[in-house]
A and B are shown apart, each in its own frame.
Chain A
Amino acid sequence: MTVPPDSGDAALRAVQVSKQFGSVRALDSVSISVGRGECVALIGESGSGKTTLLRCFNRLVSPDAGDVFIGANRAGDLDAITLRRRIGYVPQDGGLLPHWRVRRNVELVPWLREVSNARELAAQALTLVGLEPAVFGDRWPRELSGGQRQRVAVARALAARPDVVLLDEPFGALDAITRADLQVSFHALRRELGLTALLVTHDLHEALLLSDRIAVMRHGRVEQFGSSEELRQTPATEYVRELLRRAQVTFG
């Protein structure tokens, strides 16, 4: 198993994190790190623990054992509310507030952080994700297509200009064409802004396309953590090999 370079200046770091939900061991001594400006994908089946691990970084889940670091700080030492307002978050279903117009949804985090130019930041974020604020700002979420809703969700995550974004299967519910479209846009955007990202996905193609390194998770453990090249050349387990083989087959 490839051990990641464990530098002290990683943006996000989990060290031997374990979490139990009732009788289910969701995380079993998991360690990963995400460098500044890097994108790491957590890939695995449902119940592999990838979402639980993601949620440790904005303290929606508190580990039973192990340490989670945000930059140099232990996550547990930071105020959870403040921490969450500093980290962008995009859920699978967008999670837009249905009773707020698009503009207000995007203004959410700047508003929570009580910055004076929330409106301006929201307009910039909408523009970044390719939605014209004047056209879309006053719409209700229900008036948008699925792809537009996910774009708004990304804009909302970026509006307060966080350094780090957590994405939980952000494009999983979209049709193939829209998904490909959003993947490309997001990839470009992340590069442009130099964002650190942790991405949960069950789609190996998405992981290969968007991330610098991939952590393959299964049964609450990390099977292998490395670049796509490392995974291809030296799969650590039979499971990783099988995962890659299937992806190749699909590629043709």
Chain B
Amino acid sequence: MIPSAALAAILLAGAHGPPYQGSPERPIVVASKPFGESYLLAEMFAQLLEARGFSVERRPGLGATEIAFQALRTNAIDVYPEYTGTGLLAILGERPSADPRQVYRQVSTEFRRRYGARWLAPLGFQNTYAIAVRRETAEQYGLATLSDLARVSRSMRAGLTPDFIGRPDGLPGIERAYHIGFREVRALLPAVKYQALAAGEVDVIDGYSTDGFIARYDLVVLEDDLRFFPPYEAAALVSPGFVRDAPAGVAVLSELSGLLTEADMRRFNRRIEVDGIPIPRVAAGALLTLGLSNPGEALVQTAREPTGGVLGYLWNQRSTILELTVRHLVLVGISLTAAIACAVPLGLALERRRSSAEPVIRGVGLLQTLPSIALLAFMIPLLGIGVLPALVALFLYSLYPILRNTYTGVRDAAPEAVGAARALGMTPRQILRHVRLPLAAPVIMAGVRTAAVINVGTATLAAFIGAGGLGDFIAAGLALSDTRMILSGALPAAALALLVDALLAGCERLVRPGG
């Protein structure tokens, strides 16, 4: 399977240092999106820069196109691998042409004009959508092209990534271009779609042309005979600040331009996804093959191959898991403390102005309805990537349960006791402090516990904006379809949620009034 001590190591090395200050000696921040090929290309960028004497900071697995590009645009990262078709469609929002050169020229010009960001010359290969079926399906129906698929699509069940289902160059596009209409379309995450196809749960999936999984599951990729899919040429996308401050670094990265073929990439991806060789080793081997480094320079620590099942794997990863767990706890602890410090006083204040209470609480509740990943993406232009935006997002998510419970708890606390306290001459402040607050304490604590459990879960998403924590394992595991890696993040996160809840339950007993 996939040995990933080394991957975890680079994820960690994605060190969460101070944001770029603009000094010429700064490390170059190399990032990637959360899937295997992106990890690999970024690691190649990083090793090449290191081999040429630059210091590098790695930020692998940033959220998705939106998050990675926001980070690049605001100089929070310096470079990440991107695809021209994605740049044109997802970032510029324009229709691509079928001509790769034309597409490259378009993104090159527009990115420079609009954002000051540069596309270095393409790396040499394309990674476009690959509509794939099982070999026996292809043989049974005689499928070789998408036009062939269109003939039989009415009896086919498709398992497609949500991304593909929504994009104009995805499902809606092939439905129009090929008159394809599937019997059933299911949204599947990249991590499970290959297994689903292999297991016969679906008949057709969308993959990427350079995916190692295509070989692993012996799938047949149907030819895009009408040349519908736009070209997705891989290239290094570099930030305005990097171009300005480190032209020598840009020159080093340009050495990779035009060197990688689609066959190369399929082989490298296969080594990662199928053979389970650690990414740094595959990257080092690739640079060596390309003649860009010599064996002495490309010195990479060989990871110990993990053995045994999930438990053995977890045991091998224990120091990394511990480190990420501590980091996770720090994220949760700081954001939750800040949320308590704001939501409790706000809830008390609202209790005294009840007419404005519901609108305010509902407003805060609306934050809860924002998808977490969207909230994280909104943070980037304001706060960059890394720990700060993650803390702010987690803080915002924790507010609502605490605020709601504080307000309700204080408002509804023992009305007869409050009435008597008032009639006997307690001031509103005394009533709050000596009656309402102590009586509401268990309800408030229940809100804090709810917030804490949500917070521990949501904090796993912080990995997508480079804040670290147990989500690093989950993001990388999802990208590489590595169940054991996902569990290395998910199990400790679940344990952490239970632990935090138990600790807070203890606190709740302490604050419960009347012995």
Contacts and interface: CB of A to CB of B under 8 A. Distances in A.
Nearest to A99: B513
B25 interface: no
Interface stretch (A3-11, A85-93, A119-127, A200-208): A85-93
11 contacts: A60-B423, A89-B424, A91-B416, A95-B417, A95-B420, A95-B423, A99-B438, A108-B421, A108-B424, A112-B424, A112-B430
Nearest to B514: A99
Interface of A: 55, 58, 60, 81-85, 89, 91, 93-100, 108-109, 112, 140, 142, 153, 156-157, 166
- Chain B residues touching A, majority SS: helix
Contacts of A95: 416-417, 419-421, 423
Nearest to A89: B423
A85 B416 CA distance: 18
B427 A81 contact: yes
B238 to A, nearest CB: 63
Given A99-B438, A99-B514, A112 B426 contact: yes
A152 to B, nearest CB: 11
A99 B439 contact: yes
A91 B416 CA distance: 8
A29 B439 CA distance: 40
A31 B416 CA distance: 28
B425 A98 contact: no
Contacts of A166: 423
A147 B434 CA distance: 25
B426 A98 contact: no
Given A95-B416, A97-B417, A98-B513, A85 B424 contact: yes
Contacts of B42: none
B232 to A, nearest CB: 66
Most A CB contacts (10 A, CB to CB) among B424, B427, B439, B513 go to: B424
A98 B420 contact: no
User: Which A-B residue pairs are the 8 nearest by beta carbons?
Assistant: A95-B420, A99-B513, A85-B425, A84-B425, A99-B514, A89-B423, A95-B416, A93-B416
A186 B384 CA distance: 72
Nearest to B426: A112
B439 A109 contact: no
A21 B244 CA distance: 73
B419 A97 contact: no
B482 to A, nearest CB: 52
Contacts of B438: 99
Contact of A97 (B425, B435, B515): B435
B216 interface: no
A109 to B, nearest CB: 6
Contacts of A112: 424-426, 430
Contacts of A83: 425
A140 B417 CA distance: 14
Contact of A81 (B416, B419, B425, B513): B425
Nearest to B434: A97
Given A83-B425, A91-B416, A109-B425, 15 more contacts: A81-B425, A81-B426, A84-B423, A91-B420, A93-B416, A94-B416, A94-B420, A95-B421, A95-B423, A96-B420, A97-B417, A98-B414, A98-B439, A99-B513, A109-B424
Contacts of A93: 416
Contacts of B439: 98-99
A82 B425 contact: yes
Contacts of B421: 95, 97, 108
Contacts of B514: 98-100, 140, 142
B352 interface: no
Nearest to A168: B423
A91 B421 CA distance: 11
Which of B417, B422, B427, B514 has the largest count of A CB atoms less than 10 A from its CB? B417
B349 to A, nearest CB: 21
Q: Name which of B416, B420, B430, B438 has the most chain A CB atoms within 10 A of its CB.
A: B420
A46 to B, nearest CB: 17
B420 A89 contact: yes
A95 B434 CA distance: 14
Interface string B91-130: 0000000000000000000000000000000000000000
A85 B426 CA distance: 8
Contact of A60 (B416, B422, B427, B434): B422
A215 B122 CA distance: 97
A231 B130 CA distance: 99
Contacts of B417: 95-98
Contacts of B513: 98-99
B410 to A, nearest CB: 14
Interface string B414-448: 10110111111111001000110011000000000
Contacts of A81: 425-427
Contacts of B435: 97
A60 B513 CA distance: 27
Interface in B392-432: 414, 416-417, 419-427, 430
Contacts of A94: 416, 420
Contacts of A84: 422-425
A92 to B, nearest CB: 8
B72 to A, nearest CB: 56
